Homo-oligomer: A and B are copies of this chain.
Amino acid sequence: MVCERVEELIEAIRELKVRGAPALGVAGALGVVLACKNADESAIENAVMQLANARPTAVNLSYGVNRAFSAAKRGKNAEEMRKYALDEATRMIEEDIRQNRKIGEYGSELLEDGDVVLTHCNAGRLACVDWGTALGVIRTAMMRGKRIEVIACETRPLNQGSRLTTWELMQDEIPVTLITDSMSGAVMQAGRVDKVLVGADRVVREGVINKIGTYMHAVLAKEHGIPFYVAAPTSSFDLRRSYKDVEIEMRSPDELIYCGGVQIAPRDVRVYNPAFDFTPFQLISGVITERGVLQPPLDDHELCCD
Protein backbone atom coordinates (compact mmCIF):
# COMPACT_ATOMS: atom_id res chain seq x y z
CA MET A 1 0.00 0.00 0.00
CA VAL A 2 1.13 3.56 -0.73
CA CYS A 3 0.04 6.51 1.44
CA GLU A 4 -0.16 9.75 -0.50
CA ARG A 5 -1.79 11.75 2.29
CA VAL A 6 -0.89 11.98 5.96
CA GLU A 7 -4.45 10.96 6.91
CA GLU A 8 -3.98 7.67 5.07
CA LEU A 9 -0.76 7.06 6.98
CA ILE A 10 -2.42 7.81 10.34
CA GLU A 11 -5.12 5.27 9.48
CA ALA A 12 -2.51 2.71 8.39
CA ILE A 13 -0.70 3.16 11.73
CA ARG A 14 -3.95 2.79 13.72
CA GLU A 15 -4.79 -0.39 11.80
CA LEU A 16 -1.25 -1.73 12.36
CA LYS A 17 -0.48 -1.86 8.66
CA VAL A 18 2.75 -0.21 9.75
CA ARG A 19 3.84 -1.49 13.16
CA GLY A 20 6.95 -2.22 15.18
CA ALA A 21 8.61 0.53 17.17
CA PRO A 22 11.52 1.34 14.80
CA ALA A 23 9.27 1.25 11.72
CA LEU A 24 6.84 3.57 13.47
CA GLY A 25 9.65 6.06 14.13
CA VAL A 26 10.55 6.26 10.45
CA ALA A 27 6.90 6.23 9.37
CA GLY A 28 6.28 9.14 11.75
CA ALA A 29 9.12 11.13 10.16
CA LEU A 30 7.89 10.36 6.65
CA GLY A 31 4.39 11.33 7.79
CA VAL A 32 5.69 14.80 8.60
CA VAL A 33 6.84 15.03 4.98
CA LEU A 34 3.30 14.17 3.88
CA ALA A 35 1.83 16.63 6.38
CA CYS A 36 3.90 19.40 4.77
CA LYS A 37 1.84 18.94 1.62
CA ASN A 38 -0.70 21.08 3.47
CA ALA A 39 -0.37 24.67 2.36
CA ASP A 40 -1.03 26.32 5.67
CA GLU A 41 1.12 26.03 8.74
CA SER A 42 -1.63 25.41 11.27
CA ALA A 43 -2.97 22.57 9.12
CA ILE A 44 0.53 21.09 9.06
CA GLU A 45 0.88 21.36 12.84
CA ASN A 46 -2.54 19.86 13.37
CA ALA A 47 -1.74 16.87 11.12
CA VAL A 48 1.61 16.40 12.87
CA MET A 49 -0.11 16.30 16.28
CA GLN A 50 -2.58 13.69 15.09
CA LEU A 51 0.22 11.65 13.60
CA ALA A 52 2.29 11.72 16.80
CA ASN A 53 -0.72 10.46 18.76
CA ALA A 54 -1.96 7.83 16.29
CA ARG A 55 -0.78 5.16 18.75
CA PRO A 56 0.34 6.00 22.27
CA THR A 57 2.72 3.35 23.57
CA ALA A 58 5.80 3.03 21.33
CA VAL A 59 7.96 6.08 21.98
CA ASN A 60 9.51 5.90 18.50
CA LEU A 61 6.44 7.28 16.76
CA SER A 62 6.45 10.60 18.59
CA TYR A 63 10.27 10.57 18.56
CA GLY A 64 10.31 10.28 14.75
CA VAL A 65 7.56 12.84 14.30
CA ASN A 66 9.24 15.33 16.62
CA ARG A 67 12.62 14.90 14.99
CA ALA A 68 11.32 15.45 11.47
CA PHE A 69 9.05 18.29 12.55
CA SER A 70 11.88 20.07 14.37
CA ALA A 71 13.88 19.89 11.15
CA ALA A 72 10.87 21.02 9.10
CA LYS A 73 10.45 24.11 11.22
CA ARG A 74 13.69 25.47 9.83
CA GLY A 75 11.83 25.91 6.51
CA LYS A 76 10.25 29.26 5.65
CA ASN A 77 7.33 27.82 3.71
CA ALA A 78 5.56 24.49 3.24
CA GLU A 79 7.82 23.50 0.37
CA GLU A 80 11.00 24.15 2.36
CA MET A 81 9.52 22.45 5.41
CA ARG A 82 8.78 19.39 3.32
CA LYS A 83 12.36 19.33 2.05
CA TYR A 84 13.92 19.57 5.54
CA ALA A 85 11.54 16.91 6.88
CA LEU A 86 12.44 14.60 4.00
CA ASP A 87 16.17 15.08 4.61
CA GLU A 88 15.70 14.20 8.28
CA ALA A 89 13.47 11.21 7.51
CA THR A 90 16.08 9.94 5.03
CA ARG A 91 18.76 10.28 7.71
CA MET A 92 16.55 8.29 10.10
CA ILE A 93 16.06 5.54 7.53
CA GLU A 94 19.80 5.16 7.08
CA GLU A 95 20.36 5.40 10.82
CA ASP A 96 17.79 2.69 11.52
CA ILE A 97 19.49 0.22 9.19
CA ARG A 98 22.91 1.09 10.63
CA GLN A 99 21.65 0.79 14.20
CA ASN A 100 19.96 -2.53 13.51
CA ARG A 101 23.21 -3.88 12.09
CA LYS A 102 25.07 -2.72 15.21
CA ILE A 103 22.42 -4.31 17.45
CA GLY A 104 22.92 -7.49 15.42
CA GLU A 105 26.68 -7.37 15.95
CA TYR A 106 26.51 -6.79 19.70
CA GLY A 107 23.63 -9.20 20.25
CA SER A 108 25.08 -12.02 18.18
CA GLU A 109 27.95 -12.24 20.68
CA LEU A 110 25.39 -13.38 23.27
CA LEU A 111 24.21 -16.31 21.17
CA GLU A 112 26.03 -19.61 20.96
CA ASP A 113 26.19 -22.09 18.13
CA GLY A 114 23.19 -24.42 18.51
CA ASP A 115 21.07 -22.05 20.60
CA VAL A 116 17.30 -22.25 20.49
CA VAL A 117 15.90 -18.74 20.90
CA LEU A 118 12.30 -18.07 21.86
CA THR A 119 10.85 -14.81 20.55
CA HIS A 120 7.51 -13.05 20.86
CA CYS A 121 5.70 -10.81 18.38
CA ASN A 122 7.76 -9.53 15.45
CA ALA A 123 10.95 -7.55 15.99
CA GLY A 124 12.35 -8.22 12.54
CA ARG A 125 12.65 -6.56 9.15
CA LEU A 126 8.91 -6.03 9.10
CA ALA A 127 9.10 -3.99 12.32
CA CYS A 128 12.03 -1.85 11.15
CA VAL A 129 13.40 -0.41 7.93
CA ASP A 130 15.50 -3.53 7.44
CA TRP A 131 17.37 -6.32 9.28
CA GLY A 132 15.39 -6.11 12.52
CA THR A 133 16.24 -5.82 16.21
CA ALA A 134 15.63 -9.19 17.93
CA LEU A 135 15.53 -11.05 14.61
CA GLY A 136 18.45 -8.94 13.38
CA VAL A 137 20.52 -10.41 16.22
CA ILE A 138 19.61 -13.89 15.01
CA ARG A 139 20.36 -12.97 11.37
CA THR A 140 23.83 -11.66 12.28
CA ALA A 141 24.56 -14.73 14.41
CA MET A 142 23.57 -17.00 11.52
CA MET A 143 25.67 -14.94 9.10
CA ARG A 144 28.61 -15.49 11.40
CA GLY A 145 28.21 -19.23 11.21
CA LYS A 146 26.24 -19.92 14.40
CA ARG A 147 23.36 -22.32 13.92
CA ILE A 148 20.33 -20.83 15.64
CA GLU A 149 16.80 -22.18 15.84
CA VAL A 150 13.87 -19.98 16.67
CA ILE A 151 10.67 -20.73 18.57
CA ALA A 152 8.13 -18.11 17.51
CA CYS A 153 5.16 -17.44 19.79
CA GLU A 154 2.06 -16.73 17.74
CA THR A 155 1.42 -13.50 19.67
CA ARG A 156 -2.28 -13.17 20.24
CA PRO A 157 -4.51 -11.48 19.51
CA LEU A 158 -3.08 -10.21 16.21
CA ASN A 159 -0.73 -13.12 15.52
CA GLN A 160 2.31 -11.11 14.46
CA GLY A 161 4.35 -14.19 15.39
CA SER A 162 2.30 -16.50 13.15
CA ARG A 163 1.98 -14.07 10.28
CA LEU A 164 5.21 -12.07 10.25
CA THR A 165 8.01 -13.70 12.25
CA THR A 166 7.58 -17.18 10.78
CA TRP A 167 7.33 -15.74 7.27
CA GLU A 168 10.43 -13.55 7.68
CA LEU A 169 12.54 -16.36 9.08
CA MET A 170 11.35 -18.88 6.50
CA GLN A 171 12.32 -16.40 3.75
CA ASP A 172 15.85 -16.42 5.18
CA GLU A 173 15.81 -20.18 5.72
CA ILE A 174 16.29 -19.77 9.48
CA PRO A 175 14.69 -22.79 11.21
CA VAL A 176 11.55 -21.71 13.05
CA THR A 177 8.85 -23.53 15.02
CA LEU A 178 5.52 -21.89 15.75
CA ILE A 179 3.88 -22.33 19.16
CA THR A 180 0.96 -20.73 20.97
CA ASP A 181 1.94 -18.12 23.57
CA SER A 182 0.67 -20.49 26.24
CA MET A 183 3.28 -23.13 25.32
CA SER A 184 6.19 -20.91 26.37
CA GLY A 185 6.32 -22.42 29.88
CA ALA A 186 6.05 -25.97 28.60
CA VAL A 187 8.91 -25.64 26.10
CA MET A 188 11.10 -24.03 28.78
CA GLN A 189 10.20 -26.79 31.26
CA ALA A 190 11.21 -29.35 28.63
CA GLY A 191 14.64 -27.69 28.40
CA ARG A 192 14.15 -26.65 24.79
CA VAL A 193 14.88 -22.93 25.15
CA ASP A 194 18.39 -21.47 25.58
CA LYS A 195 17.60 -17.75 25.36
CA VAL A 196 14.60 -15.46 25.10
CA LEU A 197 14.98 -12.44 22.82
CA VAL A 198 12.35 -9.77 22.18
CA GLY A 199 12.08 -6.17 20.99
CA ALA A 200 10.76 -3.15 22.90
CA ASP A 201 8.20 -0.46 22.30
CA ARG A 202 9.57 1.79 25.00
CA VAL A 203 12.40 1.39 27.49
CA VAL A 204 11.53 3.33 30.64
CA ARG A 205 13.14 3.99 34.00
CA GLU A 206 12.17 0.70 35.60
CA GLY A 207 12.02 -1.67 32.65
CA VAL A 208 10.63 -2.37 29.23
CA ILE A 209 7.21 -1.91 27.68
CA ASN A 210 6.63 -4.37 24.86
CA LYS A 211 3.93 -6.48 23.23
CA ILE A 212 1.46 -8.08 25.63
CA GLY A 213 2.85 -11.44 26.72
CA THR A 214 6.45 -10.26 27.08
CA TYR A 215 6.15 -10.06 30.87
CA MET A 216 4.83 -13.62 31.05
CA HIS A 217 7.78 -14.95 29.04
CA ALA A 218 10.18 -13.00 31.29
CA VAL A 219 8.73 -14.51 34.49
CA LEU A 220 8.89 -17.99 32.95
CA ALA A 221 12.47 -17.43 31.80
CA LYS A 222 13.48 -16.44 35.33
CA GLU A 223 11.75 -19.54 36.75
CA HIS A 224 13.80 -21.72 34.39
CA GLY A 225 17.09 -19.82 34.64
CA ILE A 226 16.99 -18.79 30.98
CA PRO A 227 18.60 -15.46 29.95
CA PHE A 228 16.04 -12.91 28.78
CA TYR A 229 17.29 -10.21 26.37
CA VAL A 230 15.64 -7.14 24.90
CA ALA A 231 16.95 -5.72 21.61
CA ALA A 232 16.12 -2.08 20.89
CA PRO A 233 17.74 1.04 19.48
CA THR A 234 18.27 3.87 21.97
CA SER A 235 15.58 5.78 20.04
CA SER A 236 13.15 3.51 21.97
CA PHE A 237 14.57 4.81 25.26
CA ASP A 238 12.53 7.12 27.46
CA LEU A 239 14.48 6.69 30.66
CA ARG A 240 13.17 9.77 32.42
CA ARG A 241 9.67 8.36 32.38
CA SER A 242 8.15 5.78 34.71
CA TYR A 243 6.13 2.94 33.22
CA LYS A 244 3.26 4.23 35.31
CA ASP A 245 3.15 7.36 33.17
CA VAL A 246 3.05 5.55 29.84
CA GLU A 247 -0.35 5.03 28.28
CA ILE A 248 -0.87 1.35 27.49
CA GLU A 249 -2.96 1.24 24.35
CA MET A 250 -6.28 -0.55 24.80
CA ARG A 251 -7.46 -2.10 21.58
CA SER A 252 -10.83 -3.22 20.32
CA PRO A 253 -12.65 -6.20 21.89
CA ASP A 254 -13.17 -7.40 18.32
CA GLU A 255 -9.54 -8.54 18.21
CA LEU A 256 -10.48 -11.35 20.63
CA ILE A 257 -14.05 -11.91 19.45
CA TYR A 258 -13.06 -12.44 15.82
CA CYS A 259 -10.09 -14.15 14.25
CA GLY A 260 -9.55 -13.65 10.54
CA GLY A 261 -13.10 -12.32 10.32
CA VAL A 262 -14.58 -15.44 11.94
CA GLN A 263 -16.43 -15.08 15.25
CA ILE A 264 -14.78 -17.12 18.03
CA ALA A 265 -16.43 -15.67 21.17
CA PRO A 266 -19.87 -14.31 22.15
CA ARG A 267 -20.39 -10.99 20.39
CA ASP A 268 -21.25 -9.16 23.60
CA VAL A 269 -18.59 -10.67 25.90
CA ARG A 270 -16.57 -8.25 28.03
CA VAL A 271 -12.96 -8.13 26.81
CA TYR A 272 -9.77 -6.70 28.30
CA ASN A 273 -7.31 -6.07 25.49
CA PRO A 274 -4.16 -4.10 26.36
CA ALA A 275 -1.64 -4.19 23.50
CA PHE A 276 1.44 -4.02 25.74
CA ASP A 277 2.76 -4.97 29.15
CA PHE A 278 5.61 -3.94 31.42
CA THR A 279 8.63 -6.09 32.29
CA PRO A 280 10.84 -4.83 35.14
CA PHE A 281 14.62 -4.76 34.69
CA GLN A 282 14.97 -7.39 37.42
CA LEU A 283 13.77 -9.94 34.87
CA ILE A 284 15.98 -8.67 32.03
CA SER A 285 19.51 -10.01 31.52
CA GLY A 286 20.56 -7.29 29.09
CA VAL A 287 19.33 -4.63 26.68
CA ILE A 288 21.02 -4.93 23.30
CA THR A 289 21.39 -1.49 21.68
CA GLU A 290 23.43 0.00 18.85
CA ARG A 291 25.83 1.24 21.54
CA GLY A 292 26.40 -2.17 23.13
CA VAL A 293 24.70 -4.58 25.51
CA LEU A 294 23.55 -2.64 28.56
CA GLN A 295 23.14 -4.22 31.96
CA PRO A 296 20.10 -2.88 33.78
CA PRO A 297 19.45 -0.74 35.66
CA LEU A 298 20.27 1.74 32.90
CA ASP A 299 22.06 4.99 33.50
CA ASP A 300 19.71 7.74 32.48
CA HIS A 301 22.44 10.31 32.26
CA GLU A 302 24.50 8.53 29.66
CA LEU A 303 21.75 7.17 27.46
CA CYS A 304 18.89 9.55 27.24
CA CYS A 305 18.46 10.42 23.64
CA ASP A 306 17.51 13.71 22.02
Contact = CB atoms under 8 A, between A and B. Distances in A.
A229 to B, nearest CB: 18
A178 B270 contact: yes
B265 A162 contact: yes
A144 to B, nearest CB: 24
Interface in A153-167: 153-157, 159, 162-163, 166-167
Given A270-B176, A271-B177, A274-B183, A264 B216 contact: no
A296 B213 CA distance: 30
A271 B179 CA distance: 6
Given A156-B154, A180-B157, A256-B178, A215 B185 contact: yes
B256 A259 contact: no
A262 B262 CA distance: 8
Total copies of the chain: 2
A183 to B, nearest CB: 6
Nearest to A149: B270
A264 B273 CA distance: 20
Contacts of A167: 266
A174 to B, nearest CB: 11
Contact of A170 (B213, B215, B222, B266): B266
Contacts of A272: 151, 177-179, 183, 187
For the complex of A and B, the 3 pairs showing the least CB-CB separation, nearest first, are: A260-B262, A182-B213, A185-B216
